[in-house]
Amino acid sequence: MAAVDQVGERQAMLRRRYLRWWLAAPATCLLSFLFLWLPAFVAGDAGVACGGPLSLSPSEMKSGLERKWERLREPVTSTFEQVLVFNALPSVSALLSGAFAARAGRRLSTAVGALAVSVMLVVALDWMYLALGYYRLLNCAGWDGELPWLLWHLLPVLGYSSAAVLLAVGVVARWRSPRSGGSGPVRYDEVIGPLRTAYDDGARQRDVMGKAPWKLAEREAFLKRLNGHGCRRLLEVGAGSGQDSAYFQENGLEVVAVDLSPAMVALCREKGIEAYVMDFLGLDFAAGSFDAVYALNCLLHVPNRDLAAVLDAIHALMRPGGLFFLGVYGLADTTEEGPFEGDDHYPPRFFSFRSDERLQEYARKAFEIVDFHVVEAGGHRFQSLTLQRAV
């Protein structure tokens, strides 16, 4: 198993990851500033020389809104002040927003980030207005070297718009990441959003992945048990793209599959399986309506503090004497949980790896243990449990 650190360290890693987007925003603002204004400072601005970009008289203003905007800008009279104000505003707000993202909680940094994005969009629109002002002066200003003035003055529109997009990506990444701040153990409702995104994005890719021979052997052994116990109706939870559900269905069982990810559920349905988007704490089926439940490598996404509730929910759906296969990766004698550093899915998925003993303790509270064994496969420790609801 690759290294799984403490939750706090992983949160710091995640924060660094989205701060890169956050910091790219002021960098883009700076580039906008340099590209637009440095040549103008050195060579002079032909547009300004022939009257300035704001020389449109009120009579040329088409709407009351335009006049209002013009009045708002009156205090900013000189080109130099405009440079400072209209370049400093987006850069400063992006930097402040990054600082909040690094230190404050998710809600506050998202709010500040959203405000900064609005500032940048307003400034980008303002530059658009300025550029159109220059367009009206084209006859006077003509060309500056090789570049048409209009294009030249549209550069900041592009720059600040992309800064706004970069910042928005940082804000969204922060919002989607599990909550930071070391405020106790992670909760179920904090992890399912990022998990859904990660599995939605990876659904097609996962569907074409082959199954390791030991996984095929595990499900075959469970099928034999089901046949031996006369189990006909099976619910697969966290079914992914439905490969195992399809196997059980092909082998004569009546199968229903559920998964958190709509993309996964769509793939189940493509295989002809009755499938629904449902999460472990929202299983909407009649009590005792299944003979068996199959859960392969999905309950490792449930935080420890919510596992008992999830096992109770599954227990309630099974008829007395029904069988439950619970297979997860775990650790021999320690228990760790948090987002998985270096995960190949994004956002990094939350995992809870339990010790053999701890996992069985959880299971024993709701079920009788029929079988427990470990499969050592490819450096992973797979814990295989067959459980039974008491008769």
Ligand X SMILES: C[S@@+](CC[C@H](N)C(=O)[O-])C[C@H]1O[C@@H](n2cnc3c(N)ncnc32)[C@H](O)[C@@H]1O
Q: Which residues bind ligand X (CB under 6 A)?
A: 192, 195, 199, 238-240, 243, 259-261, 264, 279-280, 296-298, 301
**Peptide bond before residue 26 is cis, with ω within 30 degrees of 0:** no
Helix (H, G, I), strand (E, B) or coil at 49: helix
With 0-12 / 13-18 / 19 or more C-beta atoms within 10 angstroms meaning exposed / middle / buried, residue 132 is middle
Q: Looking at beta carbons only, is 81 or 270 nearer to ligand X?
A: 270
Q: Looking at beta carbons only, is 141 or 253 nearer to ligand X?
A: 253
Q: Looking at beta carbons only, is 137 or 326 nearer to ligand X?
A: 326
Total Cβ atoms within 10 A of residue 241: 29
Would you mind telling me the total number of residues written for the chain in this entry?
A: 391
Cα dihedral across residues 146, 149, 150, 156: positive or negative: positive
- From the CB of 306, what's the least distance to ligand X, in Å? 9
Residue whose structure tokens are 């068996």: 292
Strand 233-237 and strand 290-296: pairing?
parallel
> What torsion, rounded to 10 degrees, do the Cα atoms 186, 189, 195, 201 define?
-150
Sequence-distant (6+) residues with CB within 8 A of 250 are: none
- From the CB of 332, what's the least distance to ligand X, in Å? 21
Q: Looking at beta carbons only, is 35 or 276 nearer to ligand X?
A: 276
Q: Looking at beta carbons only, is 22 or 340 nearer to ligand X?
A: 340
- From the CB of 259, what's the least distance to ligand X, in Å? 5
Task: Using alpha carbons, list the distances in angstroms from residue 82 to 38, 68, 78, 229.
Answer: 14, 18, 6, 80
| SS3 per-residue string spanning 120-146 | HHHHHHHHHHHHHHHHHCHHHHCEECC
- From the CB of 168, what's the least distance to ligand X, in Å? 26
- From the CB of 358, what's the least distance to ligand X, in Å? 19
- From the CB of 297, what's the least distance to ligand X, in Å? 4
- From the CB of 239, what's the least distance to ligand X, in Å? 6
**Nearest residue to ligand X, scored by beta-carbon proximity:** 240
Q: Looking at beta carbons only, is 94 or 366 nearer to ligand X?
A: 366
Q: Looking at beta carbons only, is 44 or 262 nearer to ligand X?
A: 262
- From the CB of 200, what's the least distance to ligand X, in Å? 8
Find, among 305, 317, 365, 218, the residue nearest to 7 by Cα. 305
Q: Looking at beta carbons only, is 11 or 261 nearer to ligand X?
A: 261
Residues pairing with 324 in the sheet: 293, 387
8 A C-beta contact, residue 176 and residue 197:
yes
Query: What whole-number distance in Å separates Cα of residue 326 and Cα of residue 195?
Result: 19
Angle (nearest 5°) at CA 333 between 331 and 339: 40
Q: Looking at beta carbons only, is 28 or 243 nearer to ligand X?
A: 243
- From the CB of 238, what's the least distance to ligand X, in Å? 3
